[in-house]
Amino acid sequence: MMPALQDAAVHLSDRHFRTIAELIESQVGIKLPQGKRLMLEGRLHKRVRALNFSGLNEYVENLFEADHFETELTHLIDVVTTNKTDFFREPQHFTFMRDVAVPALLRSRGRKEASLKIWSSASSTGMEAYTTAMVLDDMIRNGSRFQYRILGTDISTAVLRLARTAIYTRDVLAPVPEPFVKRYFSSSRDKSRGEVRIIPELRRMTHFMRMNLMDKSYPVDRDVDIIFCRNVLIYFERETQRKVVEQLCGHLRPGGYLLVGHSESMIHSAVPGLKQVQPTIFQV
């Protein structure tokens, strides 16, 4: 292959990189600076091979073909989104939920039993949602009287498939307390696979669906008790952050909580009516 042709196959031209960067920002709010260019090129090669294109630039040239644009946009979003997640990530949030938020929400209901709604708004592979389910189930086992439902949403169809199957490799269990591992995970019959699965009782309490935080409205109830939106706002411009947080808060019941990531602790400053409880925890 001639050098110029080889370069076109493995590297994006400036024009084609801008095309993808502008498309992604307009669709999902994520900025792709030049520093992400090599990452994007590396991740796109699999799609290029799957579609039998000669290289990255031919892929971009054909991206907007009307007959497959929507389908390919879904794949492209899967490629560019970062899905770093862990069980019990930022564990102080789950401690706060157990010790402060849930007891306060239950007291505010004034009933012997209540039903709580929790929303993991950037749920990735489901670890955040299932961690929440473990903590809530453990509270019920220890005498708290409530029911709960958990919704997980994400823009990436690939991670949502993983979340729904709830199958993980055993090596991700390190942050999970050992009693929870024994109680809430079942092992694969084929021990050589090294896989575990969330037990059916927790899977039944958790529902996942695809949703874009950039949408003008969210198909979610407006009486949610706790919303997790952690480590996704950092990828948005400040004005987009404000709009997303305002929308999320519109789905919280009075007294409900919004939990964000450590690097997102100042997002409340531009949102009226959002009270800071702790550096990364807010209440409406």
Is 245:268 a contact under the CB 8 Å cutoff?
yes
Known catalytic residue at 154: yes
**What angle do the packed helices 37-50 and 69-80 form, to 10 degrees?**
140
Q: What residues contact 76, with CB distance under 8 A and at least 6 apart? A: 20, 23, 24, 47, 63
Distance CA 209, CA 218 (A): 11
Catalytic residue, from 7, 18, 37, 43: name it: 43
**DSSP one-letter code for 121:** T
Known catalytic residue at 43: yes
Distance CA 24, CA 63 (A): 13
Tell me the two tokens of residue 256: 């409900």
Catalytic residue, from 78, 137, 154, 225: name it: 154
Distance CA 186, CA 199 (A): 6
Instruction: Write the DSSP assignment of 216-284 as a string of letters.
Output: SS--S-S-EEEEEE-SSGGGS-HHHHHHHHHHHHTTEEEEEEEEE-GGGTTGGGGSTT-EEEETTEEE-
Q: Which amino acid type is present at position 274? A: L
- Catalytic residue IDs: 43, 154
